Amino acid sequence: MLDLYDTNLNWRSNKKNEETSSKKNVPLLRDKPGTKQWNSSEYIRLKDKLYQNVGPTDKLYQRVGLSDKLYQHVGPTDKLYQRVGLSDKLNHVRRNISDGAKDTVSSRVNNVVFLKLHKSASTTVQNIFLRYGFFRNLSFVLPRPPGYYWRNVISLNDTVTKRNILPPPKNRTFNILCSHVIYNRTVFRSLMPQNTKFIGIIREPRAQFMSTLKYVQPHEVLDSGGDPLENYLKNPRRYESLDPRQSLTNNRMAVEFGFPLKLFQTRNSSEIQQYIQKLDKEFDLVILVEKIEESLILMKRILGWNIRDIIYITQNKNEKKDSRFNWTNETERRFHAWNYIDIELYNYFKTKMYQRILEAGETLQQEVAYFRWVLRQIQKFCADNRGTSPLSFKRSKWSEPFKVFLYDCWLLRMDEITFHDFLRIRQYPEYPHIDHELSAELQRHFESIYLRHSKNFNSR
């Protein structure tokens, strides 16, 4: 295991990893005088969007979608502990929830890396891991605040280092890594337990690219006159940094999967395929966004989890069409040339997922149908928000009986920045946090969920 407390730690254990990791002092925002780049505005705009969800403390309930009815149930506790640390009672509750009706605890996987990619439904999937670890008091690899990047991001252009994460909690090891960071197998393996499972995610490249453009809104592209998409794809390097790690639109999925930097210049097909084969051996599953339900059921089987562990409500989804972007045959050709690595990466793991679905057969399709039905019931329940009775699911062929409470809806809709804030508070109560008032507020809400509903956890 890596000793994160060792100030002399050399994270670059061999020369092969130097290429896929950023140089020590590579700046995040890098503009060249006299060149038209949109990196700075791209990241600044992204940062602004991330912080739009973080309002004043007195608006916390509205920000995370907590209804008035739920507010009544998660009010202040009778005696809130002076320290943010966990009480014996709270730990007892967490043990209850982790020991579901007939879950096989010994076979359940608690050590997981989820590689979170930009604009690839990964916020929705990340919430699954955040809730799973929260309910079981697992340890997360968390960004080091304040503001190395942002409170929910380890790094946009580097792998994990001593500088950008907090060390493991005292006398504990990390269990889950699911925040934005660049993949590096050697570093991740050294950081996590040996039995860690690796889960990735991939999205159709054109959809991922367009989602990024609509989210970031780079004015250098959108205000270029004429057809902005055509203007950009005619000469992408006019707008891009020489370093692909500084861009969200230069084969971003490949960047975050840790492809060697030279491949973004050479586009060597053989070496690209070799690296993809390497990823295939290293990841236990790569989720295909276009087959999200099938992927999550396969993930559930790999991790030994229950249906209740993988429920979700879609987050950060933007299906609004933008009339400024006109796709033609020529635009498509140029896009394929520019995002060649992402397309190769996607095609490989798309084929892999379809093979796994085919091999799983009819039983998978039946479980997926049940899972979709469960998700529809939860969506209706959380949208209603009027009753106080939990939503109950009976024992089925694919799941033990379980219940969903109103506070589950709160957690399902929780934005990732707020969730990261709380997890950081819980794991590191002595660490100086960005907003002490917000920290205390978050602590009250999360503690109240446990202490006021502890009797229900036994039936989850």
pLDDT > 70 fraction of the chain, expressed in percent and rounded: 66
Residue 30 has pLDDT above 50, yes or no: no
Rounded to whole angstroms, the maximal C-alpha distance in the chain is 66
Report pLDDT for 269. 97
Domain span at residue 305?
36-457
Question: In this predicted model, what pLDDT tens digit does every residue of 303-356 receive, in sequence order?
Answer: 999 999 999 998 766 666 666 677 889 999 999 999 999 999 999 999 999 999
pLDDT grade for 131, boundaries at 50, 70 and 90: very high
pLDDT at 54 over 90: no
Q: In this structure, which amino acid lies at residue 454? A: S
pLDDT of 84 reads: 31
- More confident of the two residues 204 and 147: 204
Q: How far is CA 261 from the centre of its chain?
A: 23
State the average pLDDT for the chain. Answer: 76
pLDDT of residue 422: 86
What pLDDT sits at residue 321? 67
What pLDDT shows up at residue 34? 38
Cβ neighbours of 146 (radius 10 Å): 11
Each residue's pLDDT tens digit, 202-225 = 999 999 998 888 877 666 676 666
**Which range has the worst mean pLDDT, 140-144, 245-249, 277-281?**
245-249
Tokens encoding 393? 């699911």
Average pLDDT over residues 404-419: 90
Record the tokens describing residue 109, joined without a space.
Answer: 């996987």
Give the residue, 126 or 213, on which the prediction is more confident.
Answer: 126
Task: Say if 262 falls within a structural domain.
Answer: yes
- Residue 104, in any domain of the structure: yes
Task: Classify burial at 395, counting beta carbons within 10 Å of its beta carbon; exposed 0-12, middle 13-18, buried 19 or more.
Answer: exposed
Q: Which has the minimum average pLDDT: 190-199, 293-302, 393-402, 429-438?
A: 429-438
Q: Is the pLDDT of residue 236 over 60?
A: yes
pLDDT higher than 60, residue 32: no
pLDDT band for position 394 (cuts 50, 70, 90): very high
pLDDT at residue 190, as a whole number: 95
Question: What pLDDT does residue 279 have?
Answer: 99
Closest CA to 309 of 404, 376, 388, 381: 404
For 121, the token pair is 């439904």
Pick the more confident residue, 51 or 171: 171
Hey, what amino acid is at 271? E
Find where tokens 């879950």 sit: 103
* Residue 407 forms part of a structural domain: yes
Beta strands at 402-404 and 391-393: parallel, antiparallel or unpaired = antiparallel
Q: Count of domains in the chain?
A: 1
Average pLDDT over residues 245-263: 93
Q: Is residue 30 part of a domain?
A: no
pTM score over 0.85? no
Asked if residue 287 lies in contact with residue 115, where contact means CB atoms within 8 angstroms, the answer is: no
Q: Which of these ranges, 217-231, 255-269, 320-334, 409-423, has the smallest mean pLDDT?
A: 217-231
pLDDT of 229 reads 84
68 domain-assigned: yes
Q: Is the pLDDT of residue 453 over 60?
A: no
Q: Can you tell me the mean pLDDT for 38-55?
A: 40
Is the sign of the CA dihedral 248, 251, 252, 258 positive or negative? negative
Asked if the structure places residue 31 within a domain, the reply is no
Q: What is the pLDDT of residue 119?
A: 85
Residue 29 has pLDDT above 50, yes or no: no
Contacts of 299 (CB under 8 A, 6+ apart): 199, 285, 287, 305, 310
Tally Cβ neighbours within 10 Å of residue 83: 9
Q: In the structure, what pLDDT confidence band is assigned to residue 399 with cuts at 50, 70 and 90?
A: very high
More confident residue, 210 or 11: 210
Task: Give residue 7's pLDDT.
Answer: 30
Residue 298 belongs to a domain: yes
Residue 437: per-residue pLDDT: 59
Domain assignment of residue 24, yes or no: no
